[in-house]
Structure 1
Amino acid sequence: MEDVSQKVVPARLLLVDDEPNVLSALSRMLRHEGYELHTAGDGQAALAILEREPIDLVLSDALMPGMDGVELLSRVQQQWPECLRLLLTGQCDLSATIRAINEGRIYGYLAKPWDDERLCLTLRQALQHQQAEREQKRLEALTQDQNRELAELNATLEQRVEARTQELQQTADMLEVAYRELRESYVTATRVFSSLISQRLPTRFQTNAKVGILVQAFAEELGLDEAQQHDLQLAAALYNLGKLAWNDRLIVTPAEQLSVQQRESYRRYPATGESLLMALEHMEGAAKLIRHHREHWNGSGFPDHLQGEAIPYGARLLGLAVDFIELQRGMILPRQVPRPQALELLRKFSGRIYDPVLCRAFITLCLDKAPDLENHGRPVLALETSQLKPGMILAQDIHSISGILLLHEGKQFDAHLIDKLMRLEEVEDRRYTLLVYREEEADE
């Protein structure tokens, strides 16, 4: 007899678009992903489905007659807050995206025409994030129930109390693991969003991943606590969010060659980045670092002209990493500065732009740890996909040709994942070289 309790319930998706061909294309693509699919041609039809069906995720077009996508997702957030919300937009509309973030508190957005692989990856990661939150709530409820049982047993059953205490400790450990996984899911989701931002920038100016690697290595070297490292990772992934509003000419102009008018726009981008994240409570620490990463030690920076130790420590570190990478990419001076000269420029402006103590430590790290910085100095192996084995752990993020994050550092390979990578190589007609931790490192 079949064990119904072990049956896996497929995720239930609602696709909303006023164009039948778009709904048909999405349904055809997602049919093989194992989802239970529902479709609606407008906002009212979507709400009717939500009234009678338990839906896990709504993917809605932004521009629809009558009720647009932002209004629909806002109403979904109010009535079904646990239902994930994604926006599908056919044009670069920053104001609509900001409204969707603030009013609908969306998980993310995707542009038309979409990339099938990226859309499927975003949906999978969104649903994994949702499952982690549900599991955390389930474990919290379980802990509360067990606490009540413990209170009832405490008066008469000392031995059972001891046994139950051990069970509670195990539950607490599970909660800690779930909490860590939830925090990691925030980082992963932020990296995915960061890779979407990168699509607005030329390939040479897609610096977020490099900056993230650098600040993480330095934070570990300094022994910063977990909360500080978490905020730094998120800030590094989104520090240039405010550049989304720039035109193409401003994006490709080095900072030292900006006109007076362009410089005004340039000086606003840290504050703009912070304002775009205000609605997300868990991003508050990272948003503060983004706002102040262009402040200078001598008070000549922006947007608030903070001076010395009034500048948040993480913002000082982020500013060093951003300048170090952007100097080498030709984003500050009208030429790409080689790595040694970039370090020399940091040293030259120590005490004026940069915290002198932090700058000295930063330069020492870059000199001593290179070229192993990108894997944090831990021994790694460079392998082709065909050489991967189940159980190996990824030592560096993998991005697609277009810059989309495919897998994040720390992901453990299994046979299914290896097979998917090999099929992706065939589709993209390229071969990935992957960094994985050596076996003795993975076993620690």
Structure 2
Amino acid sequence: MTEATMNKPIVETRPENAPLKLLLLDDEEDIINALKRLLRNNYEIIPFNKGDEALAYLQENHVDIIMSDMRMPKMDGAEFLAHAREIIPNAIRLLLTGYSDMDSTVKAINDGGVYTYISKPWNNQDLKLTLEKASDHYLLKKEAKRLNEEVAKANKELEIFNQSLELKVIQRTSALQASTKKLKNTLQTQKELFFDVLDMMSATIEYRTGFSAGHSKRIAIQCKAVAKKLELDEAQCRRIYLCALLHEIGTVGLSDDLLQENSIGSGKLEDLLITHPMIGAEILGKVKRFASLTDNILHQNENIDGTGSPAHLSGDNIPVGARIIRIVKDFDFLIAGKTNAKRMSIANAYAWMKERADVWYDRKILKTFIDLLGNREAVDGEMEFSIGVEALKPGDKLLEDLILNNGNVMLKAGQEINSVMITKLKEYERRHNTKVTLFIA
């Protein structure tokens, strides 16, 4: 294979809604035919029995996924996939292999950049599921590349801004550049690509709103725990987690004036509550993979009695994810909201929300959430707790800095709590007639 051949660009011409192109290589025609029957409804199949012919095709045509047998005459799967990687490095590569080929399989993984291997004989459902995951991984890589290019373009536009702009703009530009650099470094690992994209979107929300790092993730984790406690299926729990993680994505379209408003019940705050879910739903609706999240984002401020916005839905007509997000995010705002000048103690927040059960909030979900936060031992799986000093125990670890009303940091994130700290916190509450809220795992 010449250097000119290796460097020749392969242009993708697949229409947007067309199935992914899957190249199959196996020297046994029966296996090729079996795979074609199994996969033809979901992929555009391009079959080959000889490795050199498959490589010649790849030099002139784009494919999305390549699946090769390991044991073949003249050129085995490891060698073929290594050559294929040079021609189309972005394609997903999979290997069909027997248990006796593990040494060769390791070589294929190292030299050919194999996404995963499939043991022969295969289970049809397992093979289809593996290909579905590989397809998702491939499409997410493309989406991440697009987002990365957009961020790079935005950076270039930012560079031409006049250096005399106000300090606030300069600081935001610097933060965006730092976020972009962090994203590029993360994308280079080519691991957990989907969650890398979510991390970027969450960081954008936190940057735009000014919330502390981890704010969106805490709400998402708590929402997922509530959904699990309500015995929703795993797919719903995952969807609700993603919706909660991105529930404030619409704030990127709001003015600074609205975002800085901190007067509960003011007209400006009402405008914010109505507007940002609609913007967020519109943004996510433009991304095919996120389209299923739009309902929970759009209806997060509906009231259970039908007086909310934007559609005045009531009761079970409000998506269950939206009902969960409403409760968890309102509680977080009451006890720790950055723009809330009248933060409440946890006990007062519980009481305030219970008064609005069956008016703003779903009573069953509210009780489930309160019970969940109050019984740490009963929680199964990942969870972040919002607690008062009275619930703190030696050995607890802080997830966020404990910042006092005067702006001083009393305890740093990651510190392990001991009995001396608990005593000092109780004394601080008594002396200043206040209640402290902490976030722990």
Q: TM-score, normalised by structure 1?
A: 0.47
Q: TM-score, normalised by structure 2?
A: 0.48
Higher relative contact order (CA 8 A, sep 6+): 1
